Structure 1
Amino acid sequence: MNALIKSATIVDSKSDFHNETVDILIEKGRISKIAKGITNPKNYKEINLDNLHVSQGWFDSSVSFGEPGYEERETISNGLKTAANSGFTAVALNANSFPVIDSYADITFVKSKAQNNAVSLYPIGALTQLSKGEDLAELFDMTNAGAVAFYDYQNPISNPNLMKIALQYASNFDGLVCSFPQESRISGLGVVNEHINSTKLGLKGNPALAEELQVARDLFLLEYTEGKLHIPTISTAKSVELIRAAKAKKLDVTCSVAIHNLIFTDDVLEDFDTNYKVLPPLRTQPDCDALIEGLKDGTIDMVTTDHNPIDIEHKKIEFDYAKYGTIGLESAFGALQTLFTTKKTISLLTQGKSRFRISDTSINEGEIADLTMFNPDTTYEFSINNITSRSKNSAFLGTALKGKTYGIIANDIIVLK
């Protein structure tokens, strides 16, 4: 693949051309020249877009595509197309399909479905067999097949001894264990944050305590085992404090936060819109503020869309019975830019790769072209027309966003919306 990108502002702190507006010549999938006023040498495809900015390719550490088993929600093919249109060149795929991805063969299958695509798919294997939380899955075999981490998506491990053994066993091959932060015996049947709004609306509450107890437990287990832990999608101020203290003790822990937990509070629930039924639940403004501060000071290592397509039959029903989840790939960039500068937004969208054993790149001559193209300044209201996903369950519908993506260049392929 050969291309010439014209008049692009580079946003990449690792680049020698950071904040400069230049032309970028790509030949055979590699950046061959960066300079002002490059002449198109061999009539290559020319990319010349309004207010074009270019960064390293973005990464999402938690996406769900449904396939195999839930293709009515999303397929791997369309999911990767959605990711590309949304600016992501790499995604880590959760194991919450049917069957659950918990074996060598399952990892091989999803990787084969993603071959020859601009977006690189990195499978996360289930931590326990069928994600039931009873017996460890084939962690080492899945590592050999290409799994980058192990996680029973949104299924907490209730047995602390099982989590202890998982951390000890995975440390033999540098495996990354993920633990969903919820103590289910505390959360019970709660469907929203336990607070004033849950009482007003008559909905069962899921208290912040349920998350914080699990986080504290897992950090104690991590200290004991000296393992390697990732805590996905934290949502409370106290969780940030606990992880900050753990990092001060030099424990090998990282964490992420879902973008919707930064933007929305449980105040949006008054209309019982099930697009806002997410797990962990939307919390309070002080929690949002603490999460944002955690991103700024590095306590929280990465953001995720926690993209989870759910078919309409499981969303357009009574709130108590609706499934948890919102899609988030298409709205990620525009939502983050309502909270952070473009420089910080790009930093957040490119963090976390090394934790999931994904190679990092920079925008310099000689490097492989792994690029996201975007306009950071356009503003718009997010609507159904902005959704590429097969399922349309977005918490961001009707929300004012800032910044749009043009597409990506990755794996020797150009994808433009």
Structure 2
Amino acid sequence: MSTLIKNATIFDNSSQYHLQKKDILIIDGQIHKIAETIKTEDHFKVIELDNLHVSCGWFDSSVSLGEPGYEERENLENGLLVAAKSGFTKVAVNPNTNPIVDSKSDVEYLKSKSFNTATSLYPIGALTQQSKGIELAELYDMQKSGAIAFGDYNLPIENDNLMKVALLYAQNFDGLVLSFPKNNKIAGVGIANEGINSTKLGLKGIPALAEHIQIVRDLFLLEYTGGKLHIPTITTTKSVEIIKEAKKKGLQVTCSVAVHHLALTDDELHGFDSRFKTNPPLRSEKDRKALIKGVKSGIIDCITSDHNPIDIENKKVEFSQAEDGVIGLESAFGILNNLLELEEFIPLLTNKPKTVFGLVDNVIEEGNKADITLFNPKIESKFTQEHILSTSNNSPFINKKTKGEVYGVFANNQLILK
């Protein structure tokens, strides 16, 4: 298979061709030639698109795909196709399925079901058996089978000693431990950010303190044990400050932020629309701005869609009864590009998160494997129902302004375009 990408601006600050407009010839999945002009031959598949930009393929560090057990929400085949059409060539898939992904065989099932897809699937194994927070799962066996990290999705580890043991044990095979930043005893039965809006609306609040206490505990444990810790989807000003100080100490801690926490605040809750019910909850404008600053300063390592499809029966109900979660793959680029400059967020979708999770970032150079996202950064539009490709429809970005358009990906010797 030979594919010729014409007149593409290369956005890859690790490449000698960064910000240069080039033709890229891909033969059998490998970048064969990069030049000002490459002569078209009859057997080439030629790609010419308006204001075409290419970068290394994007990686999403938190995606839920339903299968097995929740196929009515999303299945692997469609979910990975959605990821590809949204620009993601690699996704880390959460273990929140039925059964929970907590064993070698579960990881192997996911890997086998995603074989030969353009978007590569990397399982996150549950940290504890059935994500119950009582006993550690088969961490080493899961890593040998392809798991890239271990965490109980959106569930905190309440047992301090269990987290300590996890951090110690994972060092034996250079494992990455994820710890969801929430103290359940402080959060209680809260369903929204504790603040002015929750008070006005009569919604039980989740204090920012619940996040801070959990992060501080985990960092104390990390300082004691050593090892590697990743804190997913932080949401507050103080969390950014705490992690900044921990990094200054030399602790191996990384963190991510979800797109919806960069773009939205708890002001959205005034319509009691369950599409805005998330875990962690949407916070204040002050917190949102601090997260943006954390991205720009490099304290935050990854940006994730935190894509979590929820079927209509569990989402379009009374706010207090609705399940947490949003879909975000399809809207991620357009929303981020409306908030940040390309040079500020593309590295947090490419080389930085791949380094955190131990993956290879294929630089756009001759001789390298072609793992490329194709996009146009200039088009301004509005995200509508028609843009949703997922099986579920729980997007908080309906009718929100976006900037840019994803054309698709070339990865695993497959071209996927919208």
Bin the TM-score by the shorter chain: over 0.9
Aligned residues: 417
Q: Name the residue aligned to 2:61.
A: 61
Alignment map for 1:157-306 (pairs within 5 Å): 157-306=157-306
Deviations 1:103-155 (A, max 9, x none): 00000001111001000000000000000000000101101111000010001
2:17 matches 1:17: yes
Looking at structure 2, the residues matched to 405 and 389 of structure 1 have their Cα atoms a distance apart, in angstroms, of 16
Deviations 1:21-50 (A, max 9, x none): 111111111111111121023531000011
Q: Name the residue aligned to 1:409.
A: 410
Name structure 1 gaps, 5 residues minimum: none
Name structure 2 gaps, 5 residues minimum: none
Alignment map for 1:4-403 (pairs within 5 Å): 4-350=4-350, 351-403=352-404
Taking only the aligned residue pairs, the percentage that are identical comes to 59
Question: Could you tell me how far 1:357 is from its partner in structure 2?
Answer: 1.8
Give the CA RMSD over aligned residues: 0.7
Write the letter of the residue equivalent to 1:96.
N
Q: Give the 3-state SS of the residue equivalent to 2:334 in structure 1.
A: helix
The answer on whether the counterparts of 2:126 and 2:151 sit within 8 Å (CA) in structure 1 is yes
Q: Give the 3-state SS of the residue equivalent to 2:403 in structure 1.
A: strand
Question: Could you tell me how far 1:343 is from its partner in structure 2?
Answer: 2.4
The answer on whether the counterparts of 2:2 and 2:43 sit within 8 Å (CA) in structure 1 is no
Deviations 1:50-109 (A, max 9, x none): 111110000000000000000000001000000000000000000000000000000000
Deviations 1:315-357 (A, max 9, x none): 1111011000000000000010111112223222213112212
The answer on whether the counterparts of 1:278 and 1:325 sit within 8 Å (CA) in structure 2 is yes
The answer on whether the counterparts of 1:26 and 1:32 sit within 8 Å (CA) in structure 2 is yes
**Greater mean alpha carbon deviation, residues 299-308 or residues 340-349:** 340-349
The answer on whether the counterparts of 1:333 and 1:345 sit within 8 Å (CA) in structure 2 is no
Deviations 1:375-404 (A, max 9, x none): 100011101100110001001111000011
Q: Give the 3-state SS of the residue equivalent to 2:410 in structure 1.
A: strand
Q: Give the 3-state SS of the residue equivalent to 1:323 in structure 2.
A: coil
Question: Could you tell me how far 1:3 is from its partner in structure 2?
Answer: 0.3
Q: Give the 3-state SS of the residue equivalent to 1:375 in structure 2.
A: strand
Q: Give the 3-state SS of the residue equivalent to 2:106 in structure 1.
A: helix
Write the letter of the residue equivalent to 1:279.
N
Write the letter of the residue equivalent to 1:155.
L
Question: Could you tell me how far 1:227 is from its partner in structure 2?
Answer: 1.6
The answer on whether the counterparts of 2:11 and 2:19 sit within 8 Å (CA) in structure 1 is yes
User: Structure 1 runs of 4+ off > 3 angstroms?
Assistant: none
Looking at structure 2, the residues matched to 268 and 132 of structure 1 have their Cα atoms a distance apart, in angstroms, of 32
Looking at structure 2, the residues matched to 287 and 6 of structure 1 have their Cα atoms a distance apart, in angstroms, of 42
Question: Could you tell me how far 1:284 is from its partner in structure 2?
Answer: 0.5
Looking at structure 1, the residues matched to 349 and 132 of structure 2 have their Cα atoms a distance apart, in angstroms, of 31
Q: Give the 3-state SS of the residue equivalent to 2:374 in structure 1.
A: strand
